[in-house]
Structure 1
C-alpha cells in the first residue's frame, strides 16, 4: 500500500518510461521518522521540502499544507498497521513531458512507509570504520544541499564502501574538504570544539544536523562552530559521528589508523531521546 497524490492505492500505475523522476532524476524527497503516531521534526521536514521544490521550480500543490502532509503520512502508516515506529518517504516529481525542459511544472507525489525495529534512538558502539571516497566529489552549490533523486555519488560511494569492507565513506567537495558521509551529516570533536561543515561547503541541509546544533548551542560546556573540515583534521580529532533522522547519531570508531571515543555522541543521544520522550520535537 502506498499513498499516491493523497490516495491510498496498491500501485500508482505510473508509466515508468515517461516518468521524469526516472528519466532525469527530476524529483525531490524527504525521509521521515514516525514515532507513536507522530512525525518527528515535522515542521523542519515540511519547510525543507517546500524550499527544495521552490529552488528547482516545481509547482507546489495548493492543498499540500503541513497538516495535510502529516495527515497523509500517518494515514498510510495506520493502513499498514505499523504501531510503534516507522520510516516514511515522500517523493515529489514533475509530471511527464519534455526532455531536459519540462512541458509541465505541476507535480505529483508518492508516500511509502515501512516499520522500524527501534522506537527511540539506540546508541551503537560497535566497530564503525570509514574512509575517504575520492572517485567523485560533491560540488559546492545549492543543489548539493537538497535531497534530490540524483544520488550517483552516494550510490557509487556505497558500492566502494561495500567492496572495501567499510561501514561508510566520507565525501569531499571540490575544495577537497570533508563535507558529509554517504547518508548523513558529519560532526567532529577536536580540542574541546564541536565542528560540522557549513551548508555553503555543499553538505546536505540535514534535519538531524539542525537538531544537534540546537542542542549543543544551549550547552555552555561545548564550543560549536560550522567550519570547513580537511582530511588532515580527522587525524587529530577526538570524536567523529554521523547524524540523520533514521539512525539518530552513529559514532565513527575508526578512520584509517586513527580510532575515536564516543563520550560526547553518547551524551548527545541521551539528550535527544529525552526531548523525544517529552514531546519537544
Structure 2
C-alpha cells in the first residue's frame, strides 16, 4: 500500500513525518474523510470547499496542489496504485509546516493522502443503532467548532464513553444544552413528514452527507426544519438517524427507553444509492 506525501508516492510503512510535526505537537491540522464508490471519490468538490473554509479559519495558505483537479488526479492515481477499484475511503490531512512553537514560523502547509479499501455504496444498517447521551463535556459554540481539525479529544472521550456504556454512539450537546452532533455524524429527527436537524448556529461540524440528505429530502416530498433541538425532542420523534460521509445513513433503533421506526431512513438511503 502507498500514500501521497505532498506530491510524492511513499510506501505506507515508510516514515514521512518527524517529531517536530505541528499536527503531532499542537493539533495544527485538519482533515477530510472521503467515500469512494465504484472507484470514484464522492462529493470531492464539497469536501474541498469545507477544507478550504477550515484552512481559512486556521490562517493556512492554500497551495495550488490542493485545488480540485490536482487533488482529484492524485486520488485517482493513489486508488489505482493501491488497487482500489470499488469501495474505499480517502483521508486527506493538511497540516502547517514544521517550525515554531504555538506561533508558527510559516503558514504554508504539507499534505498527506491515504487510501483504504471499504464497503462499496452506502448500505443501510440492518440492525438499528442503540445510542445514548454524552453529558460529561459540552461542545463550545465558536468558529473552531465548525472546523474538522486534528484535535478530536472531545469525540475521543465521547466514543470511549459510548463503548463503556454499551452504546453504538452518543449524542453530544453544545454549551446551551441543545443537540449538537454524534461522535462522527450529524443527526436527524423525523416526525411525520418532517425532518428536524440542528441549524448552523448549534456548533456542529457541517457534514457533507448532511448537506446531501437535506437536498434529497427537499426533492423527495419531505419538509426539513433546521433549528435548536433538545434531547427531550428525541422522546417524541418517530425516527432518528445519523449521517456521515463514509457510512451514509444509519438508522437508530433506541435512545434511552424510546424505540424508533426507519421508514424515512430507508427511503432516503435508497435514494442515496440510486
State if a TM-score over 0.5 links the two structures.
Answer: yes
Query: How many angstroms apart in 2 are the aligned matches of 1:77 and 1:194?
Result: 36
- 1:200 aligns with 201
Q: Deviations over 1:9-66 (max 9, x none)?
A: 1234321x20110111100100001122311112111111111111111111123210
Structure 1 window deviating more from structure 2 (162-171 vs 139-148): it is: 139-148
Q: 1:14 aligns with which of 14, 17, 30?
A: 17
- Alignment length, in residue pairs? 271
Deviation, 1:249, is: 0.2
> What is the SS of the residue equivalent to 2:66?
coil
> What is the SS of the residue equivalent to 1:253?
strand
Whether contact under 8 Å (1:131, 1:170) holds in the other structure is yes
- Summarize the alignment of residues 157-168 of structure 1 with structure 2, pairs less than 5 Å apart: 157-168=158-169
- 1:41 aligns with 43
> What is the SS of the residue equivalent to 1:97?
coil
Deviation, 1:191, is: 4.1
Q: Does 1:245 align with 2:245?
A: yes
- 1:269 aligns with 269
- 2:117 aligns with 115
- Summarize the alignment of residues 91-102 of structure 1 with structure 2, pairs less than 5 Å apart: 91-102=93-104
Q: 2:89 aligns with which of 87, 90, 107?
A: 87
Query: How many angstroms apart in 1 are the aligned matches of 2:7 and 2:185?
Result: 28
Q: Does 1:259 align with 2:272?
A: no
Query: How many angstroms apart in 2 are the aligned matches of 1:39 and 1:267?
Result: 23
Whether contact under 8 Å (2:39, 2:88) holds in the other structure is no
Alignment gaps of 5+ in structure 1: 275-281
Query: How many angstroms apart in 1 are the aligned matches of 2:143 and 2:201?
Result: 8
- Summarize the alignment of residues 168-207 of structure 1 with structure 2, pairs less than 5 Å apart: 168-207=169-208
Q: What is the TM-score with the length of structure 1 in the denominator?
A: 0.94
Whether contact under 8 Å (2:65, 2:71) holds in the other structure is no
Q: What is the TM-score with the length of structure 2 in the denominator?
A: 0.96
- Summarize the alignment of residues 133-152 of structure 1 with structure 2, pairs less than 5 Å apart: 133-152=134-153
Tell me the C-alpha RMSD between the 2 structures.
Answer: 1.1
Query: How many angstroms apart in 1 are the aligned matches of 2:32 and 2:134?
Result: 24
Whether contact under 8 Å (1:197, 1:227) holds in the other structure is yes
- 2:58 aligns with 56
Deviation, 1:134, is: 0.6
Query: How many angstroms apart in 1 are the aligned matches of 2:89 and 2:205?
Result: 19
Structure 1 window deviating more from structure 2 (28-37 vs 253-262): it is: 28-37
Deviation, 1:127, is: 3.6
Query: How many angstroms apart in 2 are the aligned matches of 1:84 and 1:191?
Result: 36
Q: Deviations over 1:99-136 (max 9, x none)?
A: 111111100010111101x2121111304111110111
- 2:33 aligns with 31
Whether contact under 8 Å (1:4, 1:12) holds in the other structure is no
